[in-house]
Amino acid sequence: MSQHVARLQRRAGARQVVRPLRPPAAEGRPRRVAMLSVHTSPLHQAGTGDAGGMNVYIVELSTCLARLGVEVEIFTRATSAALPPTVELAPGVLVRHVDAGPYEGLAKEDLPRQLCAFTHGVLTTEAAHRPGHYDLVHSHYWLSGSVGWRVAQRWGVPLVHTMHTMAKVKNAALAEGDVPEPAARIIGESHVVFAADRLIANTAEEAHDLAHHYGARAGQIAVVHPGVNLDVFRPADGRAAARRRLGLPQDAFVPLFAGRIQPLKAPDVLLRAAARLVADDPGLRRRLVLPIVGGPSGSGLAKPERLHKLAARLGLCDVVRFQPPVTQQELADWYRAATVLVTPSYSESFGLVALEAQACGTPVVAAAVGGLPVAVRDGVTGYLVRGHDPAGYAAALRRFVDVPALARDLGTAAARHARDFGWGSAASAMAAVYSEAARRGHAAEPA
């Protein structure tokens, strides 16, 4: 075992000591929150498997909550026998690995059968401490919510839930070749909506979807915009330096896709748009570089080579660069190096990659869906495209080809826009929601 893991185990072991209850925090703020993330760990590399924006969300939110004095313990399913029981993610943030089902080879679709085991693991952890160890439960995604309402009810504490994505919304905007979300998920989401004291929506549109599709009560929903790590994602030393580090030509036109490779995220739309640009302007091929940064995920795992084959059919193999998922620091360099980020998703609860790119000073061309119209100011920090016709994206990208200074001008505005979305502000707003939920009582039990 590496020295790093051993050090984390020693730190985590020190935190297992039972401590006396402390007096209530100021303004009724919870002292310790049980954060539930069943199907994906905050320690996983974003952009691989099921790890994506939700992972980033949980890491950044928890870290900033801890800085505000709210301790966070994140429960996630153990995916390897070699994992330590606990890992200190940051001061005041502890990740707990719960044994629930086989360590490896368990698809997300099979996880509902392991929720009872996961619930038992969470309850057992709490039982080892004095009563009142956790003041609130915050669950993420419907699988965690199904555990969350049970443990919140058992402990007599409030349940706050963040959907991140919703089955009914996804099914209403399926990409070609994508698989509808199952009825079991819709039922599970409905139970969570009924049970939760507070539902966190990323945007006003998501709040509307919660009310329209799931009957969420108006007073139950709180809108809290996600944030961006402004220490990592910033213009820094600019595009030229980033391109030198990544080995990209200084005069290249670089439309970037960053994220999980699956039909929902629609990277194929960018490839088809690029093919149109080259067909209309064959000379553009000489300076076109099209990076796809990320790994297969979700339904994309069924045909992991699908995008590579599409690039070959479109005659783009010489310009497309497939890059595996990278660290946040490396991802920031890809954003800085890009002329424009392209996010043609069929559904996005918010679109953190769009915000990250803008924080780096890079404009965005995005689908006008979900939270992207909040993350991107149309005509100011980038362009929003209605629908998923590659011609619309090609037209938006053509603006940056025809007017090279456009990327700089919109990028400057994008960096200013992103500064309003720091995680510190998001954590403060979330802490206020926690306080209100604590004042109003604890979770109901679904019928």
Asked if 96 and 211 sit in the same domain, the reply is yes
**Is 21 within the bounds of a domain?**
no
The CA distance from 351 to 373, in Å, is 9
**Domain count for the chain:** 2
The answer on 313 and 220 residing in a single domain is no
Query: Is residue 320 one of the residues assigned to a domain?
Result: yes
Reported pTM: 0.85
Q: Is 305 annotated as a binding-site member?
A: no
**Residue 383: inside a domain:** yes
Q: Kindly state whether residues 337 and 410 are assigned to the same domain.
A: yes
The reply to whether 35 sits in an annotated binding site is: no
Residue 27 covered by a domain: no
140 is in an annotated binding site: no
Q: Tell me how far apart the alpha carbons of residues 181 and 174 are, in angstroms, rounded to a whole number.
A: 10
Q: Do 43 and 87 touch, CB atoms closer than 8 A? A: yes
Q: Phi/psi zone of residue 58: left (φ > 0), alpha (ψ -120 to 50 degrees), beta?
A: alpha
Tell me: do 364 and 408 sit in the same domain: yes
- Same domain assignment for residues 437 and 394: no
Residues 292 and 166 in one domain: no
Tell whether 305 and 258 lie within a shared domain: yes
Taking each helix axis from N to C end, the angle separating 352-359 and 328-337, rounded to the nearest 10 degrees, works out to: 70
Whether 359 and 431 map to the same domain: the answer is no
Do residues 268 and 219 both lie within one domain?
A: no
pLDDT of residue 39: 85
Tell whether residue 259 is among the known ligand binding residues. no
131 with 266, same domain: the answer is: no
338 labeled part of a ligand binding site: yes
125 is in an annotated binding site: no
Digitized pLDDT (tens) for each residue of the chain, 447 residues in all: 334 334 333 433 333 322 222 334 445 789 999 999 998 888 876 655 566 678 899 999 999 999 999 999 999 999 888 899 999 999 999 999 999 988 777 777 888 899 999 999 999 999 999 999 999 999 999 999 999 999 999 999 999 999 999 999 999 988 877 889 999 999 999 999 999 999 999 999 999 999 999 999 989 999 999 999 999 999 999 999 999 999 999 999 999 999 989 898 999 999 999 999 999 999 999 999 999 999 876 554 445 688 999 999 999 999 999 999 899 999 999 999 999 999 999 989 888 999 999 999 999 999 999 999 999 999 999 999 999 999 999 999 999 999 999 999 999 999 999 999 999 999 999 999 999 999 876 555 665
According to the annotation, is 39 in a ligand binding site?
Answer: yes
Q: Would the annotation count 27 as a binding residue?
A: no
319 is annotated as contributing to ligand binding: no
- Residue 389 amino acid letter: D
Nearest alpha-carbon partner for 146 in 117, 170, 126, 169: 117
What are the DSSP E strand ranges found in 114-220? 136-140, 159-162, 198-201
Q: What is the b/e burial string over 379-402, where b = at least 16 CB atoms within 10 angstroms of the residue's CB?
A: eebbbbbeebebebbbbbbbebbe
Q: Of 68, 11, 29, which Cα lies nearest the Cα of 425?
A: 68
Q: Are 399 and 253 in contact (CB under 8 A)?
A: no
Annotated ligand binding at 265? The verdict is yes
Amino acid present at 315: G
CA distance 49 to 58: 17
Domain that holds residue 324: 239-421
Please indicate if the annotation marks 48 as binding a ligand. Answer: no
Angle at 190 between CA 442 and CA 218, to 5 degrees: 65
95 is an annotated ligand-binding site residue? no
In a domain, 16, yes or no: no
The answer on whether 417 is annotated among ligand-binding residues is: no
User: Measured between alpha carbons, how far is 307 from 267 in angstroms, rounded to an integer?
Assistant: 8
Q: What is the CATH number for 299?
A: 3.40.50.2000
Cα(276)–Cα(407) distance, integer angstroms: 20
Question: Residue 441 annotated as binding?
Answer: no
251/120 same-domain check = no
Same domain, 432 and 373: no
Residue 170 assigned to a binding site:
no
In a domain, residue 408? The reply is: yes
In a domain, 18, yes or no: no
Q: Is 213 annotated as a binding residue?
A: no
Q: For residue 91, what pLDDT is reported?
A: 97
Residue 250 makes CB contacts below 8 A (sequence gap 6+) with 240, 243, 244
In terms of C-beta density within 10 A (0-12 exposed, 13-18 middle, 19 or more buried), how is residue 405 classed? exposed
Report yes or no on 233 lying in a domain: no
d(CA 347, CA 334): 23
